[in-house]
């Protein structure tokens, strides 16, 4: 099981982080991702494979003022 923003996700094992983000509708240029308490650089989104037990936090940037 993988946890994303506190929710259990059962269908993301062995997916690349970039593929998961696109599948879920995130705009990669507008998010920051933490995996297991470490920030994942955007340059590693294609390399990071989601595995059982990963705890992911995805933060979207929102403009405004």
Mean pLDDT across the chain: 93
Residue 61: predicted pLDDT: 80
Whole-number Å distance between alpha carbons of 65 and 62: 10
What's the maximum distance between 2 C-alpha atoms anywhere in the chain?
39
Kindly report the CATH class assigned to 2-59. Answer: alpha beta
- In degrees and rounded to multiples of 5, residue 4 shows phi and psi of -125, 120
Instruction: List alpha helices for the chain, DSSP H.
Output: 17-23
Each residue's pLDDT tens digit, 8-64: 998 888 999 999 999 999 999 999 999 999 999 999 999 999 999 999 999 988 776
Which run of H or E residues covers position 17? Answer: helix 17-23
Q: Where are the domains of the chain?
A: 2-59
């Amino acid at each position: 099981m993988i946890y994303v923003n506190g929710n259990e996700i059962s269908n993301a094992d062995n997916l690349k982080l970039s593929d998961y983000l696109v599948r879920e509708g995130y705009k990669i240029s507008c998010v920051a991702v933490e995996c297991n308490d470490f920030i994942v650089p955007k340059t590693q989104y294609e390399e990071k494979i989601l595995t059982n037990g990963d705890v992911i936090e995805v933060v979207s940037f929102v403009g405004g003022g």
